[in-house]
Structure 1
Amino acid sequence: MSSFFKFKFNNFLDIAKSPEVFDWMMSMRRKIHENPELGYEEFETSKLIRSELDKMDIPYKHPVAITGVIGYIGTGLPPFVALRADMDALPIQEMVEWEHKSKVAGKMHACGHDAHVTMLLAAAKILKHHEKEIQGTVVLVFQPAEEGSGGAKKIIESGVLKSVTAIFGLHVVPELPVGEVGCKSGPILAGSGSFEAKIRGKGGHAAVPQHSIDPILAASNVIISLQYLVSREADPLDSQVVTVAKFQGGSTFNVIPDYVTIGGTYRAFSKQSFNHLRQRIEQIIVGQAAVHRCNATVDFLDDVKPSYPPTVNDSNLHEHFVNVAVNMLGINKVNSAVTPSMGAEDFSFYQEVMPGYFFMLGVQNASHNPSESSLHSPYLEINEDGFPYGAALHASLASTYLLKHQQNMPGATDTKYHDEV
């Protein structure tokens, strides 16, 4: 990378750290944090995003996937590269006492999506200021419902990204120091699915079990058998998880119930392993229930909680990211071989239809307590000093990608914001 562009990227970081932009980011993040909204309910968050884009004179499409906003910066012509931020909060009561605590009982930005929106808005501000230098179009994706509802899938299905050739996304990590990033090529997060099964027997008095068909005993054997999927059927070098986290049946001590409900999650880093787990989970539940004279039905909850594919980073985009990040942050601040996590992300839906890259951004507090201040914790605290790094990386990744992939497109014109997306 030339010294000119290296200077340019560091300039992006200087802009993001300037009091004008930094203070504005704090204001944005705290407004969003105080008013968390769950998936597909992000109406006020979406309204705030659109208001800020209007102030920046950035055109956008809305609504997309109910509350989503898709903005455009640049020529309006190919190539197109996307930057994504998720908007939704979690049904968690915030336990951190601070000036900008959630004002909505039982809801909290416990996964840092308020920070993600803020950093993408700041990247938009930086990119808009340099719009004349952008060789193509940056597509801003403000996405609803990442937390279990697959908002990314609805964005894809809307068709607004059909001409996009690459997409970048990030996630804040409270365990990683400010100014550092974590990344890797290939699988970085697991595919995740959910299942729920109803195992039916025949209820009766516990004193005469021979007159009943015990679904609790059947369910217990089902759970034990499911553990063999990982310990006996999976390659030990191919990490997989099957966890039963729900077991409901019976309401008293001396009555065998008619049925039991169990549920859980299954995860894997490859699509092949993921699909194999799904198939075998159903076979084992139905088969083991039958051994104990019970009937079983299995629901994979595809309509209410769609399964997420594995998040797999494109190797070429990995090279691009590391190049940009090392030039901006320094080689010692870029861990380019992080250990994959069994967590899941609906960013993976984008990666199924285009090259995508997902990385981790450090937002660790000086007083970091790993047992409390973690994602999905009511005690989560985010160090806002990390925001300039996320904003500058977004802006640099997109602008340099377009510089590398610009090409003479047949029939291209100078028309601004010609709707090609």
Structure 2
Amino acid sequence: MDTFMLAKQAEEYVVGLYRDLHEHPEIGMQEERTIQVIVDELSKLGIENEIIPHGGIIGIIEGDRPGKTIVLRADIDALPMKEEPNNLKQPKVVVSQDDRAAHTCGHDGHTAMLLGAAKILVENKQALEGKVILAFEQGEEVGGGIYRILSRLVEMGADGIWGIHLKSDIPTGKISVDAGPRMSGVSGFQVTIKGKSGHGSRPDLSFSPVDCFTDFHQSLQAMRLKSLDPFMPITYSIGSVSAGMAANVIPEELAFSGTIRYLHYEQGLAGAEEFIRLLERKCEEYHCTYHFDMKPVARNLSVYNEETCAGIAEQAIKKAIGEDVVYSYPAWMASEPFSFYQKYFPGVFAFVGIESKEKGTGAEHHNAFFEIDEDALPFGVAATVQYAIDFLQSNVSIDYPRESQSVADFFKEMNTKPYEPPVV
């Protein structure tokens, strides 16, 4: 098989799907039309499929010969935001028709590439030794679909997994499958600091939670340099702060929330402990108290490319597309539910470049100017197909610490609640 040639032959099909999905975005756990499009395409291709309620869609391709099983995963949801009609340089090729939602992260491209890969694989089943499971995950941005679709996959069983994320700052035509940590674990926090309110003319008679928070925040920025291992990345960010209603009133309370992100679990543990220690000390200094609405708890959930699988992926890309396509890229400090899959299945999360200075693509993800370079789509399709074939044919042993708990028990341990649909 000339995988890249087949991907180029399927390019019109893939681009057509991408444009259709881009024009009709649906936010997490509301992807009714998107799910129907995927089911219709799988059915047209003769691929057995099932809808996982509040989870996504699963399709199954049986190879002509028995063997292992691999999961190929894509996410399908959009973001609740309005898209700009232009990219960084010129008008976009296709724009959302809904001002309330937009595919400004690339999930429409992920879905289109997986359907393109499915088309090639089902038309070339004679090249498959084993089974391919296609997993289209709902609600990735809100963590809504992962529990139910992962539960079904664990029930079905698989030997490995592959996923793709289009990457806005990697050049088109390049793909990163570096081994090791690729995306961060995350700990969220929501905190309320309580002081003593009073009139702005007599701050000495009050205990200001604003002053307490300000000092805490400044100290938090320095904590990475003074208290944590500098060789293991970690980031802290405050996303919301709320306090007070009037300029001349020192408020009683201040609430803030944010995230801690880390590539190494031990750094996450240290970061959460230092966060709490620092908060206790600053509240004591300012005669304030605090309580957690959400306490920062480190979870061992970073996206990690298993070394053997990463080696298979690198060779697959070189074989299918070319030696110069493989691109080394540092870990991304964003987070992804793909880490949950990797607790049960060893595999690779690939970054596929979409940056083109000439075309104006390359705006950051979740940015209104974000756009995919459509020329990147065949690269993702070819890499997916070749990795699936090569993984299934590989006889190498993968020493991988698979999670032994049920998905339900694992979610409890990770302090993560499964999505519950609203009662109508």
TM-score normalised by structure 2 residue count: 0.86
Match of 2:77 in 1: 88
Shift of 1:177: 2.7
Quote how far apart the aligned CAs of 1:57 are: 1.0
Structure 2 residue aligned with 1:62: 51
1:258-297 mapped onto 2 (5 Å cutoff): 258-297=252-291
| Match of residue 420 from structure 2 | none
Q: Do the aligned partners of 1:135 and 1:402 also contact (CA within 8 Å) in 2?
A: yes
Residues 358-405 of structure 1 deviation map (CA, whole Å, 9 limit, x = unaligned): 1111222352557x7221110112111111111111111112211124
Q: Is the 8 A contact 2:269 2:298 kept in 1?
A: no
Q: Can you give the 5+ residue segments of structure 1 that lack an aligned partner in the other structure?
A: 1-7, 408-421
Q: Is the Cα contact below 8 Å between 1:309 and 1:348 reproduced in 2?
A: yes
Change beyond 3 A, Cα 1:57–1:81 = same
Change (3 A) 1:391 1:126: same
Q: Which residue of 2 aligns with 1:338?
A: 329
Q: Is the 8 A contact 1:244 1:264 kept in 2?
A: yes
1:40 and 2:32 are equivalent in the alignment: no
CA contact (8 A) 2:68 2:130 kept: yes
Identical columns (%): 28
Q: CA deviation at 1:121?
A: 0.3
Give the aligned partner of residue 417 of structure 2: none
Matching residue of 1:200: 194
> Do structure 1's residue 255 and structure 2's residue 244 form an aligned pair?
no
Q: Distance in 2 between matches of 1:159 and 1:364?
A: 33
- From 74, 91, 95, give the equivalent of 1:101: 95
Deviation at 1:26, TM superposition (A): 1.8
Q: Which residue matches 1:416?
A: none
Q: Does 1:15 align with 2:3?
A: no
| 1:91 Cα offset (Å) | 1.7
Which of the numbers 372, 376, 379 marks the counterpart of 2:366? 376
Contact 1:42 1:67 in 2 (8 A): no
Aligned Cα root-mean-square deviation (Å): 2.4
Deviation for aligned residue 1:343: 1.9
**Which ranges of 4 or more aligned residues in structure 1 deviate by more than 6 Å?**
305-308
Say whether the 8 Å CA contact 2:55–2:145 is kept in structure 1: no
Aligned-residue offset at 1:158: 4.0
Quick one: distance in 2 between partners of 1:46 and 1:308? 31
CA distance in structure 1 between the partners assigned to 2:298 and 2:230 by the alignment: 27
Query: What is the distance in 2 between the residues matched to 1:352 and 1:160?
Result: 10
How far apart are 1:279 and its partner, in Å?
3.0
**Structure 2 gap ranges (5+):** 87-91, 398-424
Classify 1:283/1:366 alpha carbon distance in 2 versus 1 (closer, same or farther; 3 Å). Answer: closer
- Give the aligned partner of residue 89 of structure 2: none
Distance, in Å, in 2 between the alignment partners of 1:54 and 1:318 is 32
Residue 215 of structure 1 and its aligned partner are, at CA, apart by 0.9
Residue number in structure 2 paired with 1:413: none
For 1:141, the equivalent position in structure 2 comes to 135
Instruction: Tell me the CA shift for residue 148 of structure 1.
Output: 4.0
**1:256 to 1:38, Cα distance in 2 relative to 1, 3 A:** same
Q: How far is 1:251 from its partner?
A: 2.3
CA distance in 1, matches of 2:390, 2:45: 22
Contact 2:52 2:149 in 1 (8 A): no
Partner of 1:319: 311
Shift of 1:99: 6.1
SS of match in other structure, 1:110: coil
Amino acid at match of 2:316: V
Asked if structure 1 preserves the Cα contact closer than 8 Å seen for 2:228 and 2:270, the reply is: no
Counterpart contact for 2:3–2:385, Cα < 8 Å: yes
Q: What is the identity, as a one-letter code, of the residue corresponding to 1:266? A: I
Residue 62 of structure 2 aligns to which amino acid in structure 1? G
Distance 2:290 2:34 in 1: 43
Partner of 1:364: 355
Q: 1:352 and 2:343 equivalent?
A: yes
The 3-state SS of whatever aligns with 2:159 is: strand
Q: Deviations over 1:204-230 (max 9, x none)?
A: 111122332211111112212322431
Give 1:417's aligned residue.
Answer: none
Residue in 1 aligned with 2:175?
A: 181
Contact 2:237 2:258 in 1 (8 A): yes
Q: CA deviation at 1:12?
A: 2.1
Aligned residue type for 1:14: M
Give 1:419's aligned residue. none
Q: State the alpha-carbon separation in 1 of the partners of residues 75 and 299 from structure 2.
A: 17
Q: Could you tell me how far apart the structure 1 residues matched to 2:344 and 2:305 are? A: 13
Q: Distance between the aligned counterparts of 1:157 and 1:230, measured in 2?
A: 37
- Does the C-alpha gap of structure 1 residues 94 and 267 become closer, same or farther in structure 2, counting only changes over 3 Å? same
Residue 399 (1) aligns with residue 389 (2) = yes
* Matching residue of 1:410: none
- State the SS of the aligned residue for 1:79: strand
Shift of 1:166: 0.7
Secondary structure, in 3 states, of the residue corresponding to 1:104?
coil
* Greater mean alpha carbon deviation, residues 374-383 or residues 274-283: 274-283
What is the one-letter code of the residue matched to 1:352?
A: K
Deviations 1:59-105 (A, max 9, x none): 112125x1400111014965110111011111221002546311111
Q: 1:296 to 1:78 in 2, by over 3 A?
A: farther
Indicate the larger mover: 136-145 or 223-232: 223-232
Letter of the 2:381 partner, please give it: A
What letter matches 2:171 in structure 1? P
Tell me the equivalent position of 1:329: 321
Asked if structure 2 preserves the Cα contact closer than 8 Å seen for 1:175 and 1:368, the reply is no
Distance 1:377 1:243 in 2: 18
**Number of residue pairs the alignment of both structures matches:** 391
Alpha-carbon separation, structure 1, partners of 2:118 and 2:225: 48
Q: CA deviation at 1:263?
A: 1.6
Q: Secondary structure at the match of 2:304?
A: strand
> Equivalent residues in 2 for 1:403-414 (5 A)?
403-405=393-395
SS state at 2:232 partner: coil
Distance 2:334 2:25 in 1: 22
Q: Is the 8 A contact 1:150 1:346 kept in 2?
A: no
1:387 is aligned with what amino acid? Answer: L
